[in-house]
Amino acid sequence: MAKMWAGRTAGNTDSIADDFNSSIHFDCKMFKQDIEGSMAHAAMLGAKNIITSEEAQALIDGLAEILSDLESGKIAFDMSCEDIHMFIEQELTARIGDTGKKLHTARSRNDQVALDLRMYLRSETEDIISLVRKLLAVITDVADTHKASIMPGYTHLQRAQPITFGHHLMAYAMMLLRDIDRLADCKKRMNISPIGSCALAGTTYDTDREFEAEKLGFDGIALNSIDGVSDRDFCAELMSDIAILMMHLSRFSEEIILWSSWEFKFIELSDAYTTGSSIMPQKKNPDMAELVRGKTGRVYGDLLGLLTTLKGLPLAYNKDMQEDKESVFDAVETVKMCLQVFIPMIETMSVNTANMKTAAQKGFINATDLADYLVKKGMPFRSAYKISGQLVSKCIKENTVLEELPLESYKEFSELFDNDLYSEISLEACVSKRISKGGTSVKSVEEQIEYARNKI
């Protein structure tokens, strides 16, 4: 069939070139946005008397029918069309005749595709935000349950200081709050209408770009038509935000994987979110968490692919830009899938507080508090730090812990030590004394939970 764009050319394109050029197998996802955009465009053309109001109505009715037929499955995409835009226009003309050919007045596929993509992605962005909100709600609930469950806090993956599991989880809540902020901010810039930029230079028709933008729920219009058709910042921004969100999920996954190992045994994932081994009957593998960690690399690849595609492009539209969609769709679908499995995985995991507590008791993680004890009795911190270190070393040699070392041994190092040291270095005391804002005490964690809940 002759191409709709066969203006200057007469010969047919080679079928391999057609396949290579075609994008309908992935841009068909945007059929709804394409039709809604075209309906608004037809309404604008009618309102501005560029076409008659009867013609505008015929276009709108025809488009509405196509939309409902596609949604009900009555018709399918014609994969021989180059892209979704060509398919809808071809279908419209087949249905309503020559009036269909008026739809593309004062428009180009260049501004059309930019419009469709912005509309498609703004709704995906909302979906992602609402999934992150759900995850946040789950995390804050688990944190609330475990705001007093003591575990070792780590630096360098070495036991450092006692914290609570709730405190640890709330760190992830803070990350997710920032993710929501970033995504919402990205949506603001995304929600600017490019339609009316036309091919690149604007148009000689007396169009009303604001009319179309408003009809389609945009907050404003692209103020430079060349930028309107060339800009894919909104894809790069969304993918950057998704990449950061995936990085957070990946760090969390890494901890889930560590915590469910026999070496830690801090948590156990529900059977519903683990797998077995085909050879080792004892195995329960955290595949979901591993896949989230793995897919993070894939999403980084999506972002880098797009940035690389864009980096050498002259203005305005270039066909290279058709490559934007597969990567951004992949990033969006991947993060949604990851969140959908992550939320119930966290919701259903069981927490082994006894093992956490035992681990907290064995790493001298109250040594800082021992030093602080001496400081409060008047010793300079550096000297107190030194003595505390020597006492840890003595305990290691004698195979004991600070809580069980007798007072006489303490006295050999400093006369400032007294019986009250034992209550000061208990794990519970170490946690409950950390009342600084953002700290690990139950009260501080409760404040964090309240803050997060208010934000959700």
- The 10 Å Cβ neighbour count of residue 258 is 16
Torsion over CA: 446, 449, 455, 456 (sign): negative
Distance CA 268, CA 266 (A): 7
Out of 277, 383, 393, 423, pick the active-site residue.
277
Q: How far is the CB of 107 from ligand ARG (least distance, A)?
A: 11
Question: What is the distance between the alpha carbons of residues 127 and 115, in angstroms, rounded to a whole number?
Answer: 19
User: From the CB of 17, what's the least distance to ligand ARG, in Å?
Assistant: 13
109 binds ligand ARG (CB under 6 A): yes
Minimum CB separation from ligand ARG for residue 433, in Å?
60
The answer to whether residue 104 is catalytic is: no
Which of residues 120 and 410 has its CB atom nearest to ligand ARG in the complex? 120
Buried b (16+ CB within 10 A) or exposed e, 80-107: ebbbbbbbbbbbbbebbeebbebbeebb
Nearer to ligand ARG, 319 or 397 (CB): 319
Residue from the set 34, 36, 55, 83 that interacts with ligand ARG by CB under 6 A = 83
Crossing angle for the helix pair 31-47 and 109-145, nearest 10 degrees?
130
Sketch the per residue contact string, 281 through 320, with ligand ARG: x for CB under 6 A, - otherwise.
------------------------------------x-x-
Among 142, 321, 359, 360, contact with ligand ARG (rule: CB under 6 A): 321
Burial tier of 251 (Cβ tally within 10 Å: 0-12, 13-18, 19+):
middle
Q: Report in angstroms how near the CB of residue 98 gets to ligand ARG at its nearest.
A: 23
Residue 322 binding ligand ARG, by CB under 6 A: yes
Nearer to ligand ARG, 27 or 89 (CB): 27
Phi and psi angles of residue 193, each rounded to the nearest 5 degrees, phi first: -85, 125
308/243 Cα distance (integer angstroms): 16
Site for ligand ARG contains 27 (CB under 6 A): yes
Q: 115 or 421, CB closer to ligand ARG?
A: 115
Residue from 33, 38, 99, 110 binding ligand ARG (CB under 6 A): 110
Name which of 137 and 226 has its Cβ closer to ligand ARG: 226
Nearer to ligand ARG, 83 or 237 (CB): 83
Minimum CB–partner distance for residue 106 and ligand ARG (Å): 16
Strands 220-221, 192-193: parallel, antiparallel or unpaired by DSSP?
parallel
Angle subtended by helix axes 165-190 and 109-145, to nearest 10? 160
Q: Who's near 284: CB < 8 A, 6+ residues apart?
A: 260, 268, 269, 271, 274, 275, 276
Instruction: Look up 277 and say whether it is catalytic.
Output: yes
- The first and second tokens of residue 279, run together, are 């050879």
Smallest gap from residue 201 Cβ to ligand ARG (A) = 14
Residues facing 161 on adjacent strands: 153
Which among 15, 72, 156, 436 is annotated as catalytic? 156
Residues of this chain that bind ligand ARG (CB under 6 A): 23, 27, 83, 109-110, 113, 317, 319, 321-322
- Write out the catalytic residue numbers: 156, 277
